[in-house]
Homo-oligomer: A and B are copies of this chain.
C-alpha cells in the first residue's frame, strides 16, 4: 500500500534544508498528523505497518536531525524517554505524572521569545518551559 506524502511535510523539510527522503517525509508527516508528542518508539511503531523495512535507527537519526535543524522539538520533559513535537511555534508543555500524557499549553503572556539572545553570557538556542502535575482528566476521573 502506497504512502501518501503530505506536501506540508515536504515543504517543512525543504525549508529547513533537509533532503526529503521517503523515510524523512513519512516521519515528518507522522509528527504533523500526530500531535501527541510521540516517542521514538511511537513513531517507529506507527510507521512500521506502512514502511515494513523501516529501521529504529533511522527513526532515531531522523528525529535527531529534525531537532538539530529546528524542524521539530525534542522534549526532555519525561524522565524515561524523549518525546518529539512537530509544532515548533512558541508554546509550553505539561506532563501528567499520573497518566504520562503531555499537553500543550500557551506561553505565559509576559514571556517573550529569546532564541539567539544571551542570558548571563550564554548563547541560547532552545527554550523549554515544562510543567508537571496531575492533568484535568485524571483529576476528574
Residues of A within 8 A of B (CB): 74, 76-79, 82, 94, 96-97, 103, 105, 108, 110-111, 119-136, 139
Q: Please, which residues of chain B bring their CB within 8 A of the CB of A128?
A: 77, 128-132
Q: How far is the CA of A124 from the CA of B128 in the complex (A)?
A: 16
Q: How far is the CA of A123 from the CA of B94 in the complex (A)?
A: 10
Q: How many copies does the complex hold?
A: 2
Query: Which of B94, B120, B134, B136 touches A103 (beta carbons < 8 Å)?
Result: B120
Q: Please, which residues of chain B bring their CB within 8 A of the CB of A82?
A: 79
Tell whether, in the assembled complex, residue A120 and residue B133 are in contact, meaning their CB atoms are under 8 Å apart: no
A112 → B minimal CB distance (Å) = 9
Tell whether, in the assembled complex, residue A132 and residue B124 are in contact, meaning their CB atoms are under 8 Å apart: yes
Tell whether, in the assembled complex, residue B120 and residue A105 are in contact, meaning their CB atoms are under 8 Å apart: yes
Q: Please, which residues of chain B bring their CB within 8 A of the CB of A105?
A: 119-120
Closest residue on chain B to residue A121 by CB atoms: B136
Q: Which of A78, A82, A96, A119 has the most chain B CB atoms inside 10 A of its CB? A: A119
Query: Which of B77, B120, B121, B126 touches A132 (beta carbons < 8 Å)?
Result: B126
